[in-house]
Amino acid sequence: MRLLVCSVLTPRNESFMKEELLGKYFTGYCMFLAVALNDTFGWEIRANVDSDDDGSWIDHAWVVNKCGLAVDIDGVHSSDDPTEFNSELKYNLTKGCIREIMRMSNDEFNTHLRDAMGVVENYRNHFMGPAKIK
C-alpha cells in the first residue's frame, strides 16, 4: 500500500512574495498560473467559468494538488475550492480549453504562460504547502 503524504516543505511566509505578483495573479492572470502549475506538477486545473451572450470568461482558476487541496497564487488552501463565486465550476480543464476561453493568440497566451512559469520556478515551495487555514 502506498501512502500519499503531503508534507510541509518550508514554513509559510506570506511576506516573501512581491505584492505585484499577488495582485497580478489575483486580478486576471490566475489561469496562466494554473496552467503553469499543471505543466510543472501535473495537478488538475479547475476554474469558475461564467458566460453571457458575448461569450465565456474565467472568474478564477486554480489547481488541485495530490492531497485534494486547492493551490493558487495564495498558496495551498484548506479545501479543494478557494472561491466563493456563483459561476459554474469546471473540472479537468486543459491548456487548450483555457486558451479557447481566453480568446487570445498563441503568442500572447504563451507570453503570459512563460511569465507564470517563472513565478512557479521562483516560488516553488510557496505552492507546495503548508495549507492555509481559513
Average pLDDT over residues 107-116: 96
Strand pairing category for 55-64 and 88-93: unpaired
How many alpha carbons lie under 13 Å from residue 66 in its C-beta half-sphere? 8
Nearest 5°: phi and psi at 12? -70, 130
Which among 83, 44, 86 is positioned nearest to 60, based on CA atoms? 83
How far is Cα 53 from Cα 70, in angstroms, rounded to an integer?
Answer: 30
How far is Cα 39 from Cα 30, in angstroms, rounded to an integer?
Answer: 14
Which residues make Cβ contacts (< 8 Å) with residue 51, sequence separation at least 6? 57
Q: Could you read off the pLDDT of 125-134 as tens digits, one per residue?
A: 889 877 665 5
Which among 83, 7, 5, 21 is positioned nearest to 48, based on CA atoms? 83
Residue 134: its pLDDT value, please?
53
Q: Could you read off the pLDDT of 29-39 as tens digits, one per residue?
A: 999 999 999 99
Q: Could you read off the pLDDT of 51-88 as tens digits, one per residue?
A: 888 888 899 999 999 999 999 998 998 888 888 777 78
pLDDT higher than 50, residue 2 = no
Average pLDDT over residues 26-47: 95
Residue 13: its pLDDT value, please?
44
pLDDT higher than 70, residue 15 = no
